Amino acid sequence: MEYIWLVIIGLIANVLGTLAGGGGLISLPAMLVMGIPVHSAIGANKVSNTVSSLSSFIVIYKYKEVTVKEAMIMMPLCLGGGIAGGLVASVLTESTMTIIAVLLLSFALLTSFLGSSDFNGNRPLVVNKKNGVTLFGIGLYDGVFGPGSGTLMMYVLSHLGISYIRAVGLARIAIFSSCFGASITYIATGKIMWAVTIALLIGSVSGAQIGVHLARKLKKEYVKPLLRIVTVALLIQIIVSNI
């Protein structure tokens, strides 16, 4: 029965995660409530997100809404960040990462109200020194902790003038890269509970496929409200779980 619940958790989390990020809002707390050790829960999320994110990116790529060139721009930065994050996880305390998460998400929420970008643009993805550091930083955060990284990535892509469906595809390849990097370190350090991980992975891949098809139908005027709702929910969940 535990494994059936993990499949359901993975499915629901990845539908939300694909549309607006924040899948970890559902999956990580649920796994901890089930009594799964924190490092094993995070590791299971990383491995399952690696596969599910790649599967949803492939669907968007098939419709020619993102290019391999754009994906290759994102991958090295986020992969490096994910590997670094997996290593940093053994150094930083959970309370420190909680503070970082709250600050980053609060800043993203604030800029969503102040900024004019709302996924209307259709600019090519251009990475310079400033946003390159930002992408690496999100990858690092994803490797260490995770919940909120997809949402932060969507905010960044919005401000870079990327349209919504392209932002979903690029965010998915970014999450694939950072989670792949982090997965290497979690596997190497023996933190993975494979039965738990595979059950979560089955649900995650299914949820990602549902989410990417819903994303293609979602009207752009609903995107920012959805992102803000997910951001507020993430903030509440992170703060309450650490009181």
Q: What is the mean pLDDT of residues 208-217?
A: 89
167, two tokens: 């932002």
Task: Please determine, for residue 204, whether its predicted confidence score (pLDDT) is greater than 90.
Answer: yes
**Tens digit of pLDDT for each residue in 73-105?**
889 999 999 888 878 776 766 667 667 767 766
Confidence of residue 202 (pLDDT cuts 50, 70, 90): very high
> What is the enclosing helix (H) or strand (E) of 231?
helix 223-240
Secondary structure (3-state) at 43? helix
Q: What is the pLDDT of residue 109?
A: 66
| Whole-number Cα distances in Å, 57 to 65, 75, 220 | 10, 12, 19
Q: What is the pLDDT of residue 131?
A: 85
Q: What is the pLDDT of residue 193?
A: 92
Q: What is the pLDDT of residue 158?
A: 85
Confidence of residue 200 (pLDDT cuts 50, 70, 90): very high
Q: What is the mean pLDDT of residues 20-29?
A: 78
- The rounded percent of the chain whose pLDDT value lies above 90 is 22
Task: Please determine, for residue 53, whether its predicted confidence score (pLDDT) is greater than 80.
Answer: yes
Residues 6+ apart with CB under 8 A from 40: 191, 192, 193, 196
Secondary structure (3-state) at 163? coil
Contact in structure between 198 and 62 (CB atoms under 8 Å): no
18, two tokens: 């694909």
Q: What is the mean pLDDT of residues 48-65?
A: 89
**Tens digit of pLDDT for each residue in 35-45?**
888 778 888 98
| Whole-number Cα distances in Å, 189 to 150, 162, 198, 214, 231 | 25, 37, 18, 37, 31
Q: Looking only at Cα atoms, what is the longest distance across the chain?
A: 48
Number of separate helices (H) and strands (E) present in the chain? 10, 0
**Tens digit of pLDDT for each residue in 172-198?**
999 999 889 888 888 888 889 999 999
> What is the enclosing helix (H) or strand (E) of 156?
helix 149-159
Q: What is the pLDDT of residue 116?
A: 53
Between 53-57, 126-130, 165-169, the lowest mean confidence (pLDDT) is in 126-130
Confidence of residue 164 (pLDDT cuts 50, 70, 90): confident
**Average pLDDT of the residues of the chain:** 83
Q: What percentage of the chain's residues is helix, strand, coil (to nearest 5)?
A: 80, 0, 20
Q: What is the mean pLDDT of residues 124-153?
A: 83
β strands within the chain, DSSP E: none
Task: Please determine, for residue 239, whether its predicted confidence score (pLDDT) is greater than 80.
Answer: no
In 3D space, the residue among 100, 119, 142, 77 whose CA is nearest the CA of residue 226 turns out to be 119
- If one compares 98 and 123, the residue with the highest pLDDT of the two is 123
